[in-house]
């Protein structure tokens, strides 16, 4: 929760807030939205194929495809909660929890420089298909302990107007 260090009553009121965006400060919340930061185009979407009874679940197939179709072209950094299949999605049970339709959308149409996600904690790390760098930046390990160090990467501004 981004409120650590604040008085307990502030945290308790934040938990009760219907729209968590009302309590987020010093950050930009992006939900199915494109932002431009110094010429770098970043799109964020929280949707994921059904997984337990978590927020932002969608049935696999058409519902997920519709969510992925909202991702615009010419995105430099794509941020999703869920991984695409085959990249940072291998669960300890041996199941790949990533989304095939997301992978297809990312590789065939969106083609970002970076695709950053989390969700599958044991998939933490970086992979590539030779064109796109996939970053599973899960902070927590499989035991939900925040043990994974931040992943830092550089992106060139040379193609931008700076």
What pLDDT score was predicted for residue 51?
73
When pLDDT is averaged across residues 78-91 and rounded to a whole number, the result is 95
pTM of the model: 0.83
Q: Which residue has the higher pLDDT, 132 or 160?
A: 132
Long-range contacts of 151-157 (CB under 8 A, 24+ apart): 151/125, 151/126, 153/114, 155/40, 155/76, 155/77, 155/113, 155/114, 157/38, 157/39, 157/40
pLDDT at 4: 40
Domains of the chain (ranges; CATH) run 1-26 (no CATH), 31-136 (3.60.21.10)
Q: How confident is the model at residue 40 (pLDDT cuts 50, 70, 90)?
A: very high
């Amino acid at each position: 929760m981004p409120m650590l260090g604040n008085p307990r009553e502030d945290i308790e009121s934040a938990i009760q807030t219907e729209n968590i965006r009302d309590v987020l400060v010093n950050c930009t919340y992006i939900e199915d939205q494109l932002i431009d930061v110094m010429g770098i185009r970043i799109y964020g979407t929280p949707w994921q194929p059904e997984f337990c009874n978590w927020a932002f679940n969608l049935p696999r197939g058409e519902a997920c495809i519709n969510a992925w179709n909202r991702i615009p072209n010419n995105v430099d950094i794509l941020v999703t909660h869920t991984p695409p299949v085959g990249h940072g999605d291998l669960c300890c049970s041996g199941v790949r929890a990533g989304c095939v339709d997301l992978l297809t959308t990312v590789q065939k149409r969106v083609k970002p420089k970076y695709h950053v996600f989390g969700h599958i904690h044991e998939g933490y790390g970086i992979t590539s298909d030779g064109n796109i760098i996939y970053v599973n930046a899960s902070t927590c390990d499989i035991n939900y302990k925040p043990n994974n160090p931040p992943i830092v990467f550089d992106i060139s501004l040379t193609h931008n107007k700076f």
